Amino acid sequence: MAWSSLLPELARGTATTLTVSLAGIALGLVAGLALALIRTSHIPVVASAVAAYVSVVRATPMVTLALLVFFGLPALGLGLSPLTAAILIIAINTSVFQAEIWRASLLDFPRGQLDAAHAAGMTHAVAFRRIVFPQAWRASLPALVNEATLVIKGSPAVAVIGVVDLTRVAVRATTLTYEPMRPFLSATVIYVAVVMVLIRLQRYTERRIVAKYGTL
Amino acid sequence: MIANFGVVLGEWRSLMTGLVNTIWICALSGLLSLLFAVLVAQLLVSRRRAVRRVTQSGVDVLRAIPFLMLLFLIYYCLPTLGLRLSSWTCGLSALVVYNTAYFAEILRGAWAHLPREQEEAGRAHGYAGLRLYRRIILPQIFIAAGPVLGNQMITLVKNSAFLLVITIPDLTFMANQVQAIHFIPFETMLVAVALYWTICSTIEWGVRRLDRVAVVRGHE
């Protein structure tokens, strides 16, 4: 396939990969924090249920999850477009890993600060918003950026359910021309570039946080 | 819904075939990756700058590629270079190449944290070359890297599900077939998920056992 027709396709595929991944990460961020809060909450049955859920989803391959969501939910009467399904799949997957990241920084949180906040008259919610969250966020940020690289690397799973992401663009170009080298190598270069940028970003956030606050 | 689970369990033969295929291809590729990784880790800590640099870039690039991309590169691109492999060989080599890079990087990290005195004391006792490596260095970096290697092994199992796209009848592939025949996707995939969870939990359990050995031997 000539570059003139391949390049726009690759650009579209990259855009789809990035859109789906970023939307999934954003949803996963909120859901992950919620899961972590419930899991660290000591509410009897609910906390263990969430722990079990996190454990199972963490062990589920992205492709298997993709098939479960894309074929399974419509069978239960919940029809989804491939693109919505893709975002949902990535969000479900990344939310449990983000939950573990949040949980780690919540468990690490010094108890004394919380007691001090309560002693100063803050309610639980205010203490969380003003004292716990900003510090937990800082501690989690580098790990969350690292999680983003894992999401990008897992995102080709959505190609399996027919979303025309970067991987599927390369497959389509190959089936059209029987010439696999150019599309696959180009797609690989783009993935590597995106992941390398994210790795740089992770190191940068780590340095910034350490420079500004002394520790992570 | 309960009845549907009955239908899925009625197809236990297919699911077992898939499960067994997933387990053996993961075990074999994990073992091979570990062997290659030991060699590659040597290159990553080589005294020659050029060797170290080239190997490290190779490992870094491999670790930045999505596994499915590597699988397609091997499956579609190698034949145009005149190398035609069966889909099993493709799948196995993709898993091995990919995980060798990760394992090698993990071993390099553990090696970098191994106190230099260990190697020096080994040399002082007359260990050198392969024996020093086999008796003094390797056991320690394996114990230190155990948990991380275990996590990577779990990632390997999860990546192996991508093999369905090159028609290898692994657990996900077989589950997908079962759901297509009976049209009960939700229940079938849930059973597959439960089986993956069992595999991964077993690996985690093994890692915890190994960890206890590590603590006894004075590693944190």
- The CA R_g of chain A, rounded to the nearest whole Å, is 20
Which positions in chain A touch B176 (Cβ < 8 Å)? 67
* Interface touch A192/B61, C-beta < 8 Å: yes
The pLDDT confidence band at residue B173, using thresholds 50, 70 and 90, is: very high
Q: Shortest CB distance from B66 goes to which of A171, A174, A191?
A: A191
Q: Return the residue in B68, B74, B156, B159 with the most chain A beta carbons within 10 A, the one to mutate for interface testing.
A: B68
- Report CB contact under 8 Å: B186, A195: no
Domain with A85 in it: 3-213
Give the one of A60, A167, A188 whose C-beta lies nearest to B193's C-beta.
A60
DSSP string, A135-184: HHHHHHHHHHHHHHHHHHHHGGGGGTTT---HHHHHHHHHHHHS--HHHH
Closest by Cβ to B184, choosing from A65, A75, A196: A75
pLDDT at residue A1 in the model: 66
Q: How confident is the model at residue B54 (pLDDT cuts 50, 70, 90)?
A: very high
| Model confidence, pTM | 0.89
Q: Do A72 and B189 touch (CB under 8 A)?
A: yes
- Whether the predicted pLDDT of B29 surpasses 90: yes
Chain A: nearest CA to B170, how far in angstroms? 11
Cβ-defined contact of A160 to B192 (cutoff 8 Å): no
What average pLDDT score do residues B192-213 get? 91
Residue of B nearest to A191 (CA): B65
Give the span between the Cα atoms of A47 and A44, in whole angstroms.
6
Q: How many Cα atoms sit within 13 Å of A18 on the Cβ side? A: 13
Q: Answer whether B89's CB lies under 8 Å from B19's CB.
A: no
| pLDDT at residue A44 is higher than 90 | no
Q: What is the pLDDT of residue B220?
A: 56
CB atoms within 10 A of CB B124: 9
The amino acid occupying position A164 is: V
- Structural domains for chain B: 2-216 (1.10.3720.10)
Least Cα separation, residue A97 to chain B (angstroms): 13
Q: What is the CATH number of the domain that holds A39?
A: 1.10.3720.10
Q: Among candidates B155, B150, B157, B59, which has minimal Cα distance to B108? A: B59
* pLDDT, mean of residues A85-89: 94
Report how many domains make up chain A. 1
Q: How far apart are CA B199 and CA B20, in angstroms?
A: 11
In tens, the pLDDT along A163-196 reads 999 999 999 998 888 888 889 999 999 999 999 9
Q: Which of A76, A153, A170 sits opposite B72 (nearest CB)?
A: A170
The structure tokens 């990969």 sit at A17
- Which amino acid is located at B64 in the chain? A
pLDDT band at A216 (very low <50, low <70, confident <90, very high): low
Q: In terms of C-beta distances under 8 Å and separation of at least 24 residues, what long-range contacts does B50-53 make, across chains too?
A: none
- The mean pLDDT of A31-52, rounded to a whole number, is 91
- What span, in angstroms and rounded, lies between the C-alpha atoms of B86 and B70? 16
The answer, yes or no, to whether ipTM is higher than 0.85 is yes
Q: Which chain A residues have any C-beta within 8 angstroms of a chain B C-beta?
A: 55-56, 58-65, 67-68, 71-73, 75-76, 149, 152-157, 159-160, 167, 170-171, 174, 179-181, 184-185, 187-188, 191-192, 195-196, 199
